[in-house]
Structure 1
Amino acid sequence: MKNYLTGLRYVTGLLAINMALTLVGFAQAAQPDAAKRMRPSAGDPATVERMVADWTRAKAFTKEYLDAMPADGITFTPSKDIRTFGQQMLHLTAAHFGFASQATGVNPPAGLDVRNLEKMKEYEDKAALTKIVLDSYDFIIDAFKNLDAAKYNEKFKLFGAFDTTRLGAFEKAFEHQTHHRGQTTIYLRMKGVKPPNEKLF
């Protein structure tokens, strides 16, 4: 009887393990399809709406940073070997023009020297800086809105070096502006200014 019970427990254990492994395998097999269903496809209205909403929110958030910094803080830097507050903002501005034009073929505004924005004294003025930064957000938002949805997944080399898609270029640009805006938080702190609250929505 004892041997029978021991054997029964053994068989039951094997069945339980086999069932668990089967369920895990099923879940793993189903996962890619589930993820695919959850991810909006390129060209889908949900993708366009989400991207435009995120970029519009990012523009408003960056404006809060610009508004928060006093006029005499535009040329402030925590250390001489890094960008000033204004140059950080101009760096992300240049990237907006660069990423968008690379992804769509639309040129930046005529006469704008995108590559040398950080060196231009005129943008040490708070009003001028704010305008060019916000204009760059409008440029990249409009560029995305006007990009043919059929080209979203078209692969190309961003700046001739990085393999991505045209939609991917806009996603990388968003990541880039988030990074550099975030860097300026300490600039505000060191000027005695409370940074804007997080703006997730």
Structure 2
Amino acid sequence: MKKIKFLLTLAVALMALPNMNAQNPTDLIADWERAKAYTMEYMEAMPADKFDFKATPEVRSFAEQMLHITDANYGFTAAIAGIQSPVGFGESEKTEDTSKANVIKLVNAGYDFVIAGLQQISAEELSDPITLFGQFEMTKAKALDKMFEHQTHHRGQATIYLRLAGVKPPNEKLF
């Protein structure tokens, strides 16, 4: 009897393994709303005349960093949610209008697309497999982790841009 109980417990635990990384979509939406607000703080902190600032000639400008986040957010979300992106691949970063007002508008629209896409995904779907960008096999939950990591990475790079522009970056926003 103990053996059967043990085997049943083990079977249930093993079936749960693929879902251990999956989060509740409500929590994911809250995280992305926080990320949007945090990114907005970065954009608001940067003076309008510094949006085209580059730390060195070889790197993206501050505006391009923000728009790169946006392009990735559209691409990841379209793949994860199985919906059409309203923005072509790399289109945001190629915009000629890198004014503070336009960049804020485009970046916020990208975050809104992420949040709307997450509202279409159920908790069960987070464990569904997808192929990301035609080459990376993972679950939707793992792809969401990668997307969040990507935007965090590039927003973190923007900290240096703010410092070099003489601006104190926003405080950490974990919660």
| Aligned-pair CA distance for 1:85 | 0.3
1:154 is aligned to 128
2:161 is aligned to 187
Distance 1:86 1:119 in 2: 10
Q: Output one character per residue of 1:141-183: Cα deviation in whole Å (capped at 9) or x when no partner.
A: 1101112433221112100111111222112111100000000
Q: Output one character per residue of 1:119-152: Cα deviation in whole Å (capped at 9) or x when no partner.
A: 2112x11111001101111101110111243322
Find the partner of 2:103 among 115, 129, 132: 129
Say yes or no: does 1:58 pair with 2:35. yes
Give RMSD over aligned pairs: 2.0
| Aligned-pair CA distance for 1:59 | 0.5
Q: Structure 2: 5+ residue runs without aligned partners?
A: 1-9
Greater relative contact order (CA < 8 Å, ≥ 6 in sequence): 2
Find the partner of 2:91 among 116, 119, 126: 116
What does 1:81-100 align with in structure 2 at a 5 Å threshold? 81-100=58-77
* AA in 2 matched with 1:168: K
SS at match of 2:93: helix
2:152 is aligned to 178
* AA in 2 matched with 1:55: W
Checking the alignment, whether the CA contact within 8 Å between 2:25 and 2:121 is kept in structure 1 is no
- Structure showing greater Rg: 1
* Greater helix share, structure number: 1
Checking the alignment, whether the CA contact within 8 Å between 1:99 and 1:169 is kept in structure 2 is yes
TM-score (norm 1): 0.74
Checking the alignment, whether the CA contact within 8 Å between 1:97 and 1:108 is kept in structure 2 is yes
* AA in 2 matched with 1:116: E
SS at match of 2:119: helix
Checking the alignment, whether the CA contact within 8 Å between 1:92 and 1:176 is kept in structure 2 is yes
TM-score (norm 2): 0.85
Checking the alignment, whether the CA contact within 8 Å between 2:92 and 2:106 is kept in structure 1 is no
What does 1:40-55 align with in structure 2 at a 5 Å threshold? 42=22, 47-55=24-32
